[in-house]
Structure 1
Amino acid sequence: MTFTLKARGAIRGVAEGEALVCPESIQGWAGVSDTTGEIIERGHAEEGQNINGRILVLPCSKGSNGWSCHFHSAMRAGFIPAGWVFTKMDSRAGVAAVVLGVPAVADFEDVDPCEVIKSGDWVRVDGNTGTVEVTRKD
């Protein structure tokens, strides 16, 4: 089954990858390992998962203004998401999207992508048009 969601294109480009959905977002500080790209936030539902090559589906950012710095450090170590899907883009998420320069969409009006996309789904993010094509894992 495949379906398409519509949002606002935030960072141009197209990327595909396996979804990593984090309805509670991820902390920056002590949330993502700067050296492995692994989610290290204690008690996080996706603790132990790696962000590398994945489409990160998040409601927004979480934590301090340094949120984007930790994703940037992970990128410098070779661990970078393929793309971003943000329910709503806040300033920290916007900075991270620009710094990483991977395709991003945001600001969904009629749907919460954290509820309709599941981890493991194959997702195509089009930052040019604001579309997200989702193919169910099953």
Structure 2
Amino acid sequence: MRFRARVISRGYAEGEAIVSRKPVSFLGDVDPESGVIRDRESDIFGESVAGKIFVFPEGRGSTVGTYTLLRMKKAGCAPAGIVMVRSEAIVAVGAIIAGIPLVDMPEADVLEVIESGDHVRVFAEREGWVEVEKR
């Protein structure tokens, strides 16, 4: 399955998807040294976003989350790519400065189409595309 999405941060990434149906704050919800979700209220508590295609509805929280994404990239535990239902400035700027491909506003309901474990490719150049191979 392939569908269009809006490009926020350019690049290409592919890998295993990890999907959260809840908003995420990179400051507090994610351990910046390991990429493990540490918010006990999260539907993916204890799982790692490191090197994966992180799919979630929207970001929330402090502007420091922007720098947390950069810190994660430098520590080698950032997501390889991000697919969001609707991006906002905190995650968008973090992805841009960290060089993490990010797309949002997909033409498909990604929270219904993509499941954790699926293989996902994020094409974020002039046009944005997401390709999903079901596991």
Matched, 1:126 2:123: yes
Look up the match of 1:24: 22
Paired residues of 2:15 and 2:53 also in contact (CA < 8 A): yes
Look up the match of 1:43: 41
Distance 2:115 2:80 in 1: 16
C-alpha deviation, 1:76, in angstroms? 2.1
Look up the match of 1:99: 97
Look up the match of 1:57: 55
Number of positions where the alignment pairs a residue of Structure 1 with one of Structure 2: 134
Paired residues of 1:61 and 1:67 also in contact (CA < 8 A): no
> What TM-score does the superposition give when structure 1 sets the normalisation length?
0.89
Look up the match of 1:15: 13
Distance 2:32 2:11 in 1: 25
Output the amino acid matched with 1:126. F
C-alpha deviation, 1:71, in angstroms? 2.0
Paired residues of 2:9 and 2:99 also in contact (CA < 8 A): yes
C-alpha deviation, 1:36, in angstroms? 1.3
Matched, 1:117 2:101: no
Paired residues of 1:121 and 1:134 also in contact (CA < 8 A): yes
> What TM-score does the superposition give when structure 2 sets the normalisation length?
0.91
SS of residue paired to 1:45: coil
Gaps of 5+ in 2: none
Output the amino acid matched with 1:30. G
Distance 1:30 1:11 in 2: 23
Output the amino acid matched with 1:70. T
C-alpha deviation, 1:83, in angstroms? 0.6
Gaps of 5+ in 1: none
Write the deviation string for residues 7-60 of structure 1: whole angstroms up to 9, x where unpaired: 112222211100011110322222111211111111211111111110011212
